[in-house]
């Protein structure tokens, strides 16, 4: 389990409407974190809301950890208002199931919405080991983030989609990924995004017999295996058992979970 750390907020930037990038001083987290891990962040000093909010690590370099939040409700709203210099109370890095990296020849990395953020560190770590084909999907132009940052990693291919066609390719990101894979096989798919997207990726990977790792950013409570707020069906020889996304995940082999 991760330990509580006080991390100074060094920089906060609104990168598009309602989406903020945070840089915090967190040398231990930066040293330990593996792609796919997340932080449980205390969002207020008053005890309201009581529960910490899980947020993925976007990037870690030297002493600095970056994460990106989209304001959804009270917790993320409070986070977005924190002042520079504030010491943020963070548990992490958390999650035992992380993205597993090997020397794959060709990979597809597919993300949707806020699910693209944990894929950045992963993509950077895969650089030089694999041909990187990255597919990032957003609802519309206003929500497109991190395109330049992914591009600068140096990719074989970057496809940006919007559901409404207001920027780059129109349609579901998974359709573009599937079409490319039909033409050029990959040896691993990595995915993070909304449940509907992950279901599509999982089904395709199983049909095509392609190894696939998915990060399940389910709702979480405690984040440390104590509340059952994040149950997922893990497939067993005799059927299934319930596992915890926060402890065993958030990354699972797609073939091992029933979502
Ligand atoms: C492992 C993990 C990693 C995450 N990483 C990030 C990240 O890098 N950046 C980021 O912006 N968000 C991330 N999230 C989602 C984030 O934790 C939630 O958006 C946040 O907790 C909502 O808190 P809130 O108090 O603002 O909203 P609440 O008041 O709790 O909820 C407001 C709205 O957001 C929806 N919501 C709450 N939790 C989630 C969720 N997990 N997924 C989708 N919708 C949700 C609710 O259904 C509701 O409609 C992650 C979640 C998990 C479990
Ligand atoms: S979030 Fe509490 S058990 Fe997983």
222 lines ligand 2 (CB under 6 A): yes
Instruction: Give all domains of the chain, ordered by start, each with its CATH number.
Output: 3-94 (2.40.30.10), 106-215 (3.40.50.80)
Tokens of 124: 């950077």
Of all ligands present, the nearest one to the C-alpha of 74 is 1
Average pLDDT, the chain: 95
Rounded distance, CA 70 to CA 29, Å? Answer: 22
- The residue contributing the CA closest to ligand 1 atom 39 is 219
Mind giving me the DSSP string for 2-59? -EEEEEEEEEEEEEETTEEEEEEE-HHHHHH--TT-EEEE---SSS-S-S-EEEE--E
Tell me if 259 sits within 8 A of 216, measured CB to CB. yes
Q: Does the pLDDT at position 191 exceed 90? A: yes
| Mean pLDDT in residue range 75-83 | 96
Of all ligands present, the nearest one to the C-alpha of 231 is 2
- The residue contributing the CA closest to ligand 2 atom 3 is 225
For 115, counting Cβ atoms within 10 Å of its Cβ (0-12 exposed, 13-18 middle, 19+ buried), the class is buried
Q: Predicted confidence band at 225 (pLDDT cuts at 50, 70, 90)?
A: confident
Reported as a single tens digit per residue, the pLDDT across 126-170 is 999 999 999 999 999 999 999 999 999 999 999 999 999 999 999
Q: Predicted confidence band at 1 (pLDDT cuts at 50, 70, 90)?
A: low
246 lines ligand 2 (CB under 6 A): yes
Reported as a single tens digit per residue, the pLDDT across 24-41 is 999 999 999 999 999 999
List of E strands, the chain: 3-16, 19-25, 38-41, 53-56, 59-61, 64-70, 87-94, 106-112, 131-138, 157-162, 169-170, 188-192, 212-215, 231-236, 239-244, 251-253, 257-258
Of 78, 82, 217, best ligand 1 pocket probe by most atoms within 8 Å of the beta carbon: 217
219 lines ligand 1 (CB under 6 A): yes
| pTM reported for the whole predicted model | 0.95
Could you tell me which residue, 46 or 180, shows the higher pLDDT?
180
Phi, psi torsion values for 87, nearest 5 degrees? -90, 115
- Ligand 1 atom nearest the C-alpha of 72 is 26
In this structure, of 14-18, 93-97, 158-162, 209-213, the range with the lowest mean pLDDT score is 93-97
18 lines ligand 2 (CB under 6 A): no
Quick one: pLDDT at residue 2? 63
């Amino acid at each position: 389990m991760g330990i509580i750390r006080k991390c100074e907020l060094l920089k906060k930037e609104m990168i598009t409407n309602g989406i903020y990038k945070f840089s915090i001083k967190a040398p231990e987290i930066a040293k330990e974190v593996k792609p796919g891990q997340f932080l449980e962040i205390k969002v207020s000093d008053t005890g309201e809301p009581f529960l910490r909010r899980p947020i993925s690590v976007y990037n870690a370099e030297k002493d600095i950890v970056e994460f990106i939040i989209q304001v959804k409700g009270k917790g993320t709203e409070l986070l977005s208002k924190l002042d520079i210099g504030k010491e943020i109370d963070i548990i992490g890095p958390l999650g035992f199931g992380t993205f597993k990296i090997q020397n794959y020849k060709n990979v597809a990395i597919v993300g949707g919405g806020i699910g693209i953020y944990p894929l950045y560190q992963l993509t950077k770590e895969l650089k030089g080991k694999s041909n990187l084909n990255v597919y990032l999907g957003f609802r519309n132009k206003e929500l497109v983030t991190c395109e330049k940052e992914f591009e600068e990693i140096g990719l074989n291919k970057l496809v940006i989609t919007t559901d409404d066609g207001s920027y780059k390719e129109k349609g579901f990101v998974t359709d573009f990924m599937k079409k490319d894979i039909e033409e050029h096989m990959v040896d691993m798919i990595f995915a993070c995004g909304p449940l509907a997207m992950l279901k599509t990726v999982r089904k395709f990977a199983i049909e095509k017999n392609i190894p696939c790792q998915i990060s399940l950013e389910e709702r979480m409570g405690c984040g440390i295996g104590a509340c059952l707020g994040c149950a997922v069906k893990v497939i067993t020889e005799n059927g299934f058992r319930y596992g915890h996304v926060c402890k065993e995940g958030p990354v699972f082999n797609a073939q091992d979970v029933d979502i």
